[in-house]
Amino acid sequence: MAQNELPVSGDCPTTNEMPMLGLGTWKNSDPEACAESVATALETGYRHIDTAQAYGNEDAVGNGIEQAAVDREDVFLATKIWIDNLAYDDVLETAEASLDRLGVDSVDLLYVHWPSRTYDAEDTLAAFNELYDQGKIDRIGVSNFEPEQLAEAIELSDAPIFANQVEIHPLLQQEELREVCADHDVELVAYSPLARGEVFDVAEIESIADDHGVSPAQISLAWLRHHGITAIPKATSGEHIRDNWASLSVSLSDAEIETIDSIETTDRRVDPDFGPWNN
């Protein structure tokens, strides 16, 4: 593949039918810009779009999917229930509202956004299972769950816990959580996979990027993919959307993987007081 030639959609690997590179939409709150970025991503080749109730853009994401010349059934669409809406009845009511805003009958993956505030493992997951049984969600996910919360969710949910979406990048490698998820056959989805831009200033990543003639972003995304982790980098401009997509053409050597694995910095970029690691 020529260096300036972008991979096509079929070149994106999948794990359990989930494309391993998706578009994150956090803070993409301008309706027109958000819809345009989603449409651009889909036309570039992306087939995985991630949003959330808390992002305030589900309607714009739905508009972007509608605008793109891509069939809905070819798009892996995920959203998340916010921490104020995790009581049993609220899950059912607000999930329906999310589907309406997205303009779809079902989503491929629905997450518990955080195990916080109104989250009650038994009641919340019972509601998620009801949505699953009704065919309104194809998979149940959790987000920002530490090993203890994940084990509890797996025990209480009749349907499988498909994925845990957490912050993972070369500066927060989450080795223990990666092992736990692997042991339980739970997919890992990385948000902030570029550490909110901090990977651009990591000498080891910069050096490997220079050797490949690509961006540090592409190296970080290739590192995640090597470890079987799905990444959903946020991007709004066509340039960044295409640059992230081009990471699918990057293959790292064992030595390069080892170099990144050996980075000892721990830098959590998303750290709210209600994060389970703070309680």
Where is pLDDT greater, at 6 or 232? 232
In tens, the pLDDT along 75-127 reads 999 999 999 999 999 999 999 999 999 999 999 999 999 999 999 999 999 99
Alpha carbon distance 11, 187 (integer Å) = 20
Residues belonging to the active site:
55
In the predicted model, is pLDDT for residue 1 greater than 50?
Answer: no
Q: Interior CA angle at 235 toward 229 and 238, to 5°?
A: 125
In tens, the pLDDT along 202-212 reads 999 999 999 99
Quote the strand ranges of 62-114, DSSP E: 76-81, 109-112
Alpha carbon distance 156, 120 (integer Å) = 11
Confidence grade of residue 2 (pLDDT, cut at 50, 70, 90) = very low
Long-range contacts of 129-132 (CB under 8 A, 24+ apart): 129/157, 129/158, 129/159, 130/92, 131/91, 131/92, 131/95, 132/159
Structure tokens at 139: 């998979």
Q: Would you give the distance in Å from CA 250 to the centre of its chain? A: 20
Structure tokens at 53: 């109730």
- Angle, helix 147-156 to helix 175-183, in steps of 10 degrees: 20
In tens, the pLDDT along 141-168 reads 999 999 999 999 999 999 999 999 999 9
- Residue located via tokens 């699953």: 132
| DSSP reduced 3-state for 86 | coil
Long-range contacts of 243-247 (CB under 8 A, 24+ apart): 243/215, 243/217, 243/218, 244/21, 244/217, 244/218, 245/6, 245/7, 245/21, 245/41, 245/44, 245/45, 245/46, 246/6, 246/7, 246/214, 246/218, 247/21, 247/214, 247/217, 247/218, 247/219, 247/221, 247/222
In tens, the pLDDT along 34-81 reads 999 999 999 999 999 999 999 999 999 999 999 999 999 999 999 999
- Residue located via tokens 């009641």: 123
Q: Quick check: 165 and 133 in contact, CB under 8 A? A: no
- 113's CB contacts (< 8 A; 6+ apart) are 52, 53, 54, 80, 81, 82, 83, 143, 144
- Global pTM reads 0.97
What pLDDT is attached to residue 4? 55
